[in-house]
Amino acid sequence: MMTQKVRAVLAIVSISCCLGAQNHVIPADKRAALDHISAASMRGHLSFIASDALEGRNTPSTGLDIAAEYIAAQFRRAGLEPVGDDGYFQTAGYAVAETPMESFELKLRSGGETVNVPASQVSFSIEEALNASAAVFKVDYKDAAALAAVKPDQIEGRVVFTEIPNYRREPRSRWMEMYRAQEEFTGKMKTLKAALVVSVDRLSATGSGGGAGRLIDPENRRTVPATAGTPVITVHDPRVVKAYDAMKPGPSDVELSARVPAQIERPVKLRNVIGLLRGSDPTLADTYVLLTAHYDHLGKGPANGGDNIYNGANDDGSGTVSVIEIASALATLKQRPKRSIVFMTFFGEEKGGFGSRFYGRNPVFPLNKTVADVNLEQVGRTDDSEGPQISNATVTGFDYSDIGTTLKAAGELTGVTVYKHEKNSDAFFSRSDNQSLADQGVPAHTVGVTFLFPDYHGVGDQWEKIDYSNMEKVDRMVALGLMMIADNPQEPKWDASNPKAARYLKAWQTHHNK
């Protein structure tokens, strides 16, 4: 069997031939197409895609629908072929389960006074109906010794009043630690048979209500698991914070009642956006190279410093506008690549890769004719937690297939260092939409500039913080890499010698009847 090293050498030789290049020369027509990729153009696209007007592009939302229409308009402008079931759209019928907040109630009674907390000043994610009315027991969340001393007869049937820190306001390096601490706390409260946990938030006066809803894939409905811990309602009402501060730890004569109605399902229409640049070779045009990114983000959440919109400029507005820009650039080629190139943006990545998994189950183009997926994620910011990433790009699962080698060769021709991050390359392979295509056997990887950056999944991930000049450079590398793959008679292969690629190679063999 041909070794990966030999295959890589042959691939580079083939790439050079396909480019008509001698090591360091990019043909004039391809160079002209790359020069169409513009930092200013992408700044314009992203200032809209990641604007407050689209309210964080949650799946589903009006903002997401507007983003889809905008992407389709740019594909139309570039002259890509519409290949969906509805023009540029591949439509998917989903459902979303939401809490009818008009029926929500939360009241705090103390000293003959009652505080009615409005729905706009609470945040929770509770799927099943909840009715609780009981005396309050105050617990100091940070006092481990006091928490350990609490007895079941003190907590059972009561509402636990506490102050759980919002881990999203802390450095990302602490998120997992703080999340696990919260899970441990609510698990203990369940063991002690608390009726409900109410946590105060003194840093924000606005909540997210019952959240954006739970997305349901009708083709793969999940069974709702038993709640791991006692349900939590976070209250952002200053009056409740004042009452909390006035209480001493332990039992009290304060009473709290809450009514949370069960979630109600409603149908929603979600859309992947797909455009085709048809290949020029009579045979290879019937094979496909994908360039993908997800265009959704988190939507709105509890206010943080007055801002409650998670704009998702880098994650993954940067990938979205890169797909738009590269599509527009390659559409200018007088001689199109031999294979067809599919430009696609997915819905629902932040909810668990819903859009890409839908495509994997319902491919527009046959999976056995789909030779590669280059997925773009977080290509705009350069302020990585490990230091500035200028003229660098990383590939997840770098050596799972020979796509990494091709992109590295493209980087050498465009001044971008394409590398394998020894810690994160493999660990992050499953954390974006490439995973859905890899599961179907398609050699698929994610290209990014940063793994972790200061505003990851925060309200600060805004379009003004993108390094557009660097993104322009990285996107030219990606565009050249796409042309290399599309012009190469040899399609990318999974590395049979790498055990981490074994499951994907097996899926490829299944689709190719090997």
Q: What is the mean pLDDT of residues 264-282?
A: 97
Return the closest-CA partner of residue 467 out of 314, 329, 294, 309.
Answer: 314
- The two tokens of residue 390 are 């200028």
CA distances from 446 to 387, 400, 412, 430 (A): 20, 12, 19, 9
Structure confidence at residue 15 (pLDDT): 52
The residue with tokens 């459902």 is 95
Query: When comparing pLDDT for 33 and 301, which is higher?
Result: 33
299 Cβ partners below 8 Å, 6+ apart? 55, 56, 57, 58, 61, 63, 212, 309, 310
Residue 482 and residue 475 in contact, taking contact as beta carbons nearer than 8 Å: no
Structure confidence at residue 220 (pLDDT): 79
Residue 272 and residue 359 in contact, taking contact as beta carbons nearer than 8 Å: yes
Whether the pLDDT of residue 92 is over 70: the answer is yes
Q: What is the number of other CB atoms lying within 10 angstroms of the CB of residue 30?
A: 22
Structure confidence at residue 303 (pLDDT): 66
Structure confidence at residue 494 (pLDDT): 98
Structure confidence at residue 167 (pLDDT): 86
pTM of the model: 0.89
- Which strand (E) or helix (H) includes residue 9? helix 4-19
Lowest model confidence (mean pLDDT) among 18-32, 153-167, 340-354: 18-32
C-alpha 282/C-alpha 280 separation (Å) is 6
224 Cβ partners below 8 Å, 6+ apart? 127, 128
C-alpha 20/C-alpha 26 separation (Å) is 8
Lowest model confidence (mean pLDDT) among 2-11, 205-214, 330-339: 2-11
CA 318 to chain centroid, in Å, comes to 12
Q: What is the mean pLDDT of residues 489-497?
A: 97
Q: What percentage of the chain has pLDDT greater than the value 70?
A: 93
Amino acid at the residue 385? S
Domain boundaries, the chain: 27-93+269-511, 100-262
Structure confidence at residue 222 (pLDDT): 59
C-alpha 127/C-alpha 213 separation (Å) is 9
Q: What is the number of other CB atoms lying within 10 angstroms of the CB of residue 238?
A: 12
- The two tokens of residue 61 are 């939302």
CATH 3.50.30.30 for domain 100-262, yes or no, is yes
Q: Which of the 8 DSSP states describes residue 273?
A: E
Structure confidence at residue 237 (pLDDT): 96
Per-residue pLDDT tens digits for 336-383: 999 999 999 999 999 999 999 999 999 999 999 999 999 999 999 999
Whether the pLDDT of residue 4 is over 70: the answer is no
- Per DSSP, the chain holds a count of helices (H) and strands (E) of 15, 22
Per-residue pLDDT tens digits for 211-248: 888 899 888 775 444 457 899 999 999 999 999 999 99
Q: What is the mean pLDDT of residues 33-37?
A: 98
Return the closest-CA partner of residue 86 out of 245, 273, 218.
Answer: 273
C-alpha 38/C-alpha 42 separation (Å) is 6
Q: How many CA atoms lie within 13 A of 360 on its CB side?
A: 23
Whether the pLDDT of residue 332 is over 70: the answer is yes
Whether the pLDDT of residue 85 is over 80: the answer is yes
Per-residue pLDDT tens digits for 384-435: 999 999 999 999 999 999 999 999 999 999 999 999 999 999 999 999 999 9
Structure confidence at residue 360 (pLDDT): 97
- The two tokens of residue 461 are 């991930």
Structure confidence at residue 108 (pLDDT): 97
Structure confidence at residue 18 (pLDDT): 57
Whether the pLDDT of residue 19 is over 70: the answer is no
User: Beta-strand (E) ranges in 29-150?
Assistant: 81-82, 89-98, 105-110, 113-116, 122-124, 130-138
CA distances from 254 to 34, 107, 115, 149 (A): 67, 11, 11, 22
Q: Is 352 left (phi over 0), alpha (psi -120 to 50) or beta?
A: left
> Would you tell me which CATH number, out of the four given (3.20.20.140, 3.40.50.300, 3.30.479.30, 3.40.630.10), belongs to the domain 27-93+269-511?
3.40.630.10
Q: What is the mean pLDDT of residues 4-19?
A: 51
Structure confidence at residue 226 (pLDDT): 47
As a whole number, the mean pLDDT across the chain is 93
Q: What is the number of other CB atoms lying within 10 angstroms of the CB of residue 79?
A: 12
